[in-house]
Each structure stands twice: as structure tokens, then as C-alpha cells.
Structure 1
Amino acid sequence: MANAEPLAIELAYSPKPGKVERWALRLPAGSRVEDAILQSGVLTVHPELVLETLSVGVWGALRALDHPLRDRDRVEVYRPLKVDPKEARRLRYRSHRAKQAR
């Protein structure tokens, strides 16, 4: 018989670097990532987030909205990248080289 105990889930979202918002949730067994997002209210607090276009993960691994949750999972809502990581690295390198040349 399936365990009917509620799941303890944490949802985390970082709206900007250095700031992390967390929600502690109790969800029924069989809940999915989408259920955690909807239950948390993160979409109300951050109306710029659109459920269908979110990148989400569980414990750092990308997951779909219909991914089933387990007790003590951490659901993470990821911000879209504003700069390509390779380009950011290139810019940091150029800046560092320019400082060394002085």
C-alpha cells in the first residue's frame, strides 16, 4: 500500500544574485513539481515568472513540471540567463587582462 503521509518539500527561487527566497511546503503524496510551484505562491509573488516557460530542477538536476516529488525534495526555480556563460567568461578575462596591463 502506498504511503499516504504528506511530503515535506522546499521550493527555492533566487530573483537576483545574492538573494534566495524559500517556501516550506506540505504536499500530498503523489505531488509533482508543478504542484509545488502552484502551492508555494511564487508565481503570485513574482508575476514575471510564467509556469509553462520555467526551467526547474530538483536538487540541482533539471526536471519537467510533471516530475513526481519525494519527501524532503528541494524544488528549484531557475532564472533565465541574461548573458551567455561563455561570453561572460570572455568579458571577465578581458577585464582581468586590462587590469594587469596597467
Structure 2
Amino acid sequence: MANPEPIDVMVCLATVTPPRLIHVQVAPDATVADAVRVSGLLEGGDLAIEACRLGVYGKRKTPDAPLHARDRVEILGPLIADPKTARRRRVQKVRATGTREGLKWLRNEAPPKDDVLE
């Protein structure tokens, strides 16, 4: 039985600006982690495969997910801020400005307990 032909995939490191994109060839039964290792994008850096978020065409994947021909593997760094906390801060900032948009949020709500009204 002949060796199956390797498949072409792209690996994108999206943690730096501008993103780096590399074309690699991997075995037909390769996983997302295999493509990242073959690309060499994480070598010499402070990121490890376990610490990164991985995806294929913007959809989150595990390192052991299988690849298909012409997939684009994306390496995303760890989250810098918790999305819920960041949204709370943005809403509090809008509320604090006293604009009409900020006041809309205050309708039908009691003031937060940590606010002191005197």
C-alpha cells in the first residue's frame, strides 16, 4: 500500500501584529497540535500549545481535533481579561458619564449597594 499524500494546511499565529501565516504539509491523519508543531511558530516563544487557544477557521478546536485539506489552524494567545469583567467595566463607564445612553441603563434599577448616596 502506498503512502498517502500529505495535505496542505495553513497555520496562523494571531497573537502578534501583523499575524504570521505559514503553509505546511502534514499527514492525512494529523491533528491540530501536529500542524502547530510542524509550523514551528511557537518555537523560541513563551507560548506553549497547552496555554494557547486553538481553532480552525475561527471555530474553537481541541489540540487532538483532526485536520482536513486546506484548513487554516489559528493559534490565539490566552485571554488577557475576563470578558464578563470587561463588559461590566464598560457598562459602568457609560453609566458614570451621565449621558442619555448611560441613564437608559439606570431605569428600573436600584443603585448598586456599594454606591453611597448622600
Answering whether residue 48 of structure 2 is matched by residue 50 of structure 1, we say: yes
State TM-score, norm by structure 2. 0.69
Aligned residue for 1:34?
33
Aligned residue for 1:8?
8
Q: Aligned partner of 1:34: which letter?
A: A
Whole-Å separation in 1 of the counterparts to 2:37 and 2:89? 38
Structure having the larger proportion of residues in helix: 1
Whole-Å separation in 2 of the counterparts to 1:79 and 1:32? 19
**Residues 58 and 74 in structure 1, CA contact (< 8 A), matched pair in contact too:** yes
**Residues 3 and 29 in structure 1, CA contact (< 8 A), matched pair in contact too:** no
**Residues 7 and 25 in structure 2, CA contact (< 8 A), matched pair in contact too:** yes
Higher relative contact order (CA closer than 8 Å, sequence separation 6+): 1
State TM-score, norm by structure 1. 0.77
CA RMSD of aligned residues (A): 2.4
1:24 CA displacement = 1.2
**Residues 11 and 36 in structure 2, CA contact (< 8 A), matched pair in contact too:** yes
Asked which structure has the greater CA Rg, the reply is: 2
Say which SS state the counterpart of residue 55 (structure 2) adopts.
strand
Structure having the larger proportion of residues in strand: 1
Q: Deviations over 1:69-100 (max 9, x none)?
A: 11011111121111111111122222333445
